[in-house]
Amino acid sequence: MQSKENQLYLKNFSNTDKKRSDCYNNLNLATRNRGGVGMYLKNNIDFDIINLPVKNIESLTIKTQILHKTCFITTVYKPPNMNSKKSINSLLQQILSMNIENNVHIIMGDFHENENNIQPIIQEFF
């Protein structure tokens, strides 16, 4: 593992990312020169980046094959000061726009939800 020009280099892996500025309509967030989401994929894995029209959530989705099945993988980041309900609604719009009912979809990331709450907001949606 090495650092190369502010990007982590992992042998036999490639990085794909989406800048924060490409994720938001909100100018306060869209004009920041930092943030975003990304994932590392092994070099021998074929994948397509799925560009979705839904804004106001930092997310990156790829489509690939796992065990001969089409699989969508989404990574999400919700800043801690962002409204949880709005972020989750944007994520749900994104999921619905993919029309992937009969496929596997793995969603991972940092939702900044406090599990110590009696009922965290994210549990209302899933």
Q: Tens digit of pLDDT for each residue in 86-116?
A: 888 888 888 888 777 778 889 898 887 766 6
Q: What's the distance, CA 3 to chain centroid?
A: 23
- Residue labelled with tokens 């409204």: 83
Is residue 4 a part of any domain in this protein?
no
At 22 the three-state DSSP class reads helix
Question: Structural domain of residue 80, as residue ranges?
Answer: 17-124
67: Cβ contacts below 8 Å, ≥ 6 apart: none
**Assessment of whether the complete model's pTM goes beyond 0.85:** no
Return d(Cα 81, Cα 37) in angstroms, integer: 17
How confident is the model over 16-71, as pLDDT tens digits?
Answer: 999 888 887 776 776 777 788 999 999 999 999 998 777 788 899 999 998 888 99
Domain total in the chain:
1
- What values do phi and psi take at 96, rounded to 5? -65, -35
Q: Which tokens in the block code for residue 83? A: 């409204």
Is residue 66 a part of any domain in this protein?
yes
Is residue 88 a part of any domain in this protein?
yes
Is residue 23 a part of any domain in this protein?
yes
